[in-house]
Amino acid sequence: MASRDVLAPFRVAFGGIIHTFRTQRHMRIHLYVTFATLMAAMFFRLRLREILVLLFMITFVLVAEMFNSAIEATVDLASPNYHPLAKFAKDIAAGAVLITTIMAIIVGSLIALGEGQWERIRVSLMADGIGLNPIGRLIIGLLTTLIVVIVGKGLGSRGQVLQGGLVSGHAAIGFFLATFCLLVADNVLVGGVAILLAAIIAQSRWEAKFHSIFELALGAAVGTTVGIVLFALIPK
């Protein structure tokens, strides 16, 4: 009887892991990625310290996914019908998984990059110029603009990440690309056409009642600022 009592919690825990694997598609994807990552770590002969960091991040993601599944099941049990707070709880749990996954990808990328390559990048960033061609700056600018837009939407009280919100993502991306065209092409006509197209994009969001004039202006300011910083202020 004592032996059964000791082993029962382990059976329950393994049952939870197996149930999560069987019913949650994202959990299966995470496990497949885990096996592929460990195989790659052995193939590239990573050091023990690097493998331990990878194992920690992998465990972090898997645990977050299991908590997400548990929260979803609890919310469905407590609120079978749609409720805004139930959706809010699920969204927060999914957001936690997203954050842990992004951090795991960043850590894995830095480990794959290697200390030597990272040191060269750091020295390049501390030099007079960042050493990036216009395409590299364009990619960095798009990512920066998206991050600022997402943070701005989070600060607002209405809208969602992909629709509405305090900062218009369409206006931000449109005016960033317009600033890119104006500064890189160094042609007033090309820049004017690009700005006109960005304004049309912003106007369409206003006509569709997704954003107010203020929100569109904020988006345009974000995109223009990022473009000016990357293509005019930072040395080439």
The full set of domain ranges for the chain reads 2-125, 132-231
- Does an H or E element contain 179, and which? helix 169-185
Residue 50 annotated as catalytic: no
pLDDT at 36: 81
pLDDT at 135: 77
Residue 118: pLDDT band (50, 70, 90) is: low
Tokens encoding 191: 């820049």
CA–CA separation, 12 vs 19, rounded Å? 10
- When pLDDT is averaged across residues 101-112 and rounded to a whole number, the result is 76
3-class DSSP state of 235: coil
pLDDT tens-place string over residues 92-103: 888 788 788 778
- Choice among 50, 65, 72, 119 that is catalytic: 65
Longest Cα–Cα distance of the chain, Å, equals 85
pLDDT at 131: 54
Q: Are 211 and 160 in contact (CB under 8 A)?
A: no
**Vertex 230: Cα angle to 227 and 236 (nearest 5):** 140
- When pLDDT is averaged across residues 227-231 and rounded to a whole number, the result is 87
Residues 203-232, buried b or exposed e (16+ Cβ, 10 A)? eebeeeebbeeebbebbbebbbbbbeebbe
pLDDT at 5: 65
Note the residue count of the chain.
236
The CATH architecture of the domain made up of 2-125 is: Orthogonal Bundle (1.10)
Say if residue 125's pLDDT is above 70: no
In terms of pLDDT, which residue wins out, 134 or 148? 148
- When pLDDT is averaged across residues 144-172 and rounded to a whole number, the result is 74
Q: Are 151 and 145 in contact (CB under 8 A)?
A: no
In terms of pLDDT, which residue wins out, 7 or 232? 232
pLDDT tens-place string over residues 5-38: 677 777 788 888 888 888 877 778 777 878 887 8
Query: Model-level pTM?
Result: 0.52
- When pLDDT is averaged across residues 76-97 and rounded to a whole number, the result is 84
Say if residue 159's pLDDT is above 60: no
Of 193, 148, 203, the closest CA to residue 171 belongs to: 203
CA–CA separation, 230 vs 195, rounded Å? 17
